[in-house]
Structure 1
Amino acid sequence: MKPLHYSSDKNLQVENIEAPARQSSRQPGQSQSKWLLKRLLDLLVSVAVGLLVLPIIGICVGLIWLISPGPVFFSHERVGYQGKLIRVWKLRTMHVDSARLLEAHLAKSPAAKTEWEQFFKLRDDPRIVPWIGNFLRKSSIDELPQLLNIISGDMSLVGPRPFPKYHLDAFSKEFQSLRQQVVPGLTGLWQVSARSDGDISIQEKLDRQYIEQHSLWLDTKILLKTVHVVLARKGAC
């Protein structure tokens, strides 16, 4: 994992747009036609990419099973649109007993405990499966099963990341409420601007900017930027 830092991307700034009353699962500032276009984009891209990456997922499933026997898929409960709890799917990159490993590591390392409380992640994480775990996280291949979440409508290609409740509790109630007004995404402004290196204050700043200023054009720019960031392996989403 890269050192914890943040570097802004001014090219992703957009002008404010007015936000009409939200209907159905439309995000603030979206007309029905824009919402339908966004949903259509989600479906077309997710299905197309899903078919292309099936062989890659199959190979990774085999490697995970060989190196770290146990379930090859991992699901985690996250908070989604309007506070709905959703199960977000990933390829497993951590040891099966990851919770015990984390608890033991934080108990014996005050520095790691402080880092976890600030970033909800660790630079030297004892839970990650050697080699394959780091590779999947750096390449973001572990996130590919979330294409199913997008197809089902629980997630979108672009939006604030769906966080577990313990992560959201670090934010203000006002910001938690604002986040629940949008469908969470596979990638977003935070990931392509700061990747996973920004602390929670940076996460809030960039997620708030996306929610208040989003557009289909911004979504397109973020998707293109995501490809560059993933290929450059600048951290993990």
Structure 2
Amino acid sequence: MYLKYNMKRLLDIVLSFFGILITSPLIAIFAIWIKVSSKGPILFKQNRVGINNKTFHILKFRTMRIDTPCDTPTHLLQDPNQYITGVGRFLRKSSLDELPQLWNILIGDMSIIGPRPALWNQDDLIKERDKYGANNILPGLTGWAQINGRDELPIKIKAKLDGEYVKKISFAMDAKCFFLTIKSVMKSEGIKEGKAS
């Protein structure tokens, strides 16, 4: 019923719309802060894999210098700290760099809850998710895998958790993911910057 009658999509539209309205003062402050503190655009756009493996441009506040290697997940950089800006450090730690994705949700590229969209070149993750049908739904701002390890998870486990979400999609599951995400963000759990030594 939740999916059949598009209740999930309706919730995405309503919550993202009001989310943008409520956070617009913060968005403006961060935009100015980013612009005056380092060279480059305010927003960072990147090709990500969306529903049915179709790519889209995900939006984030730019948290890194413009000379950062392209299309490399931050946790795979040898020394990401050399690229992260001052404001970027704060935005990443608080996950507020993801705020612009409310627009991605509003226009239908993403959902509030779903598998985090893979980079276009993360073939191993995309292939694993295909096994579970996790590429056949809208990717999310947060999801079941995000609250169960985030960057720390091996690809096979991450894909398996995304598959579990696909099987259990419901309002109750989405609500659980939503509130556990708030708890996880407050504790900065599962964030990994750079390769393990």
TM-score normalised per structure 2: 0.86
The answer to whether 1:188 aligns with 2:143 is yes
Identity of aligned pairs, percent? 37
Query: For the residues of structure 1 that align with 2:21 and 2:83, how far apart are their CA atoms?
Result: 28
Retained in 1: the 8 A contact 2:39–2:65?
Answer: no
Aligned match of 1:18: none
Which segments of structure 1 move beyond 4 Å, counting only runs of 4 or more?
none
The answer to whether 1:146 aligns with 2:101 is yes
Aligned residue pairs: how many?
190
Corresponding residue to 1:200 among 127, 147, 155: 155
The answer to whether 1:83 aligns with 2:53 is yes
TM-score normalised per structure 1: 0.73
Retained in 1: the 8 A contact 2:105–2:111?
Answer: yes
| One-letter code aligned to 2:98 | E
Could you say if the C-alpha distance between residues 193 and 173 of structure 1 is closer, same or farther in structure 2, counting changes exceeding 3 Å? closer
Retained in 1: the 8 A contact 2:55–2:120?
Answer: no
Instruction: Flag structure 1 segments of 5+ consecutive residues without an equivalent.
Output: 1-28, 103-115
The answer to whether 1:32 aligns with 2:10 is no
Please state how far the C-alpha of 1:225 moved relative to its aligned partner. 0.9
| One-letter code aligned to 1:70 | G
Two-structure CA RMSD over aligned residues (Å): 2.4
Could you say if the C-alpha distance between residues 174 and 193 of structure 1 is closer, same or farther in structure 2, counting changes exceeding 3 Å? closer
Could you say if the C-alpha distance between residues 199 and 174 of structure 1 is closer, same or farther in structure 2, counting changes exceeding 3 Å? closer
Aligned match of 1:214: 169
Three-state SS of the structure 2 residue aligned to 1:202 is helix
Aligned match of 2:129: 175
Retained in 1: the 8 A contact 2:144–2:161?
Answer: yes
* Bigger radius of gyration among the two: 1
Instruction: Flag structure 2 segments of 5+ consecutive residues without an equivalent.
Output: 193-197
Aligned match of 1:234: 189
Where in structure 2 are the equivalents of 1:21-100 lying within 5 Å? 31-33=3-5, 36-99=6-69
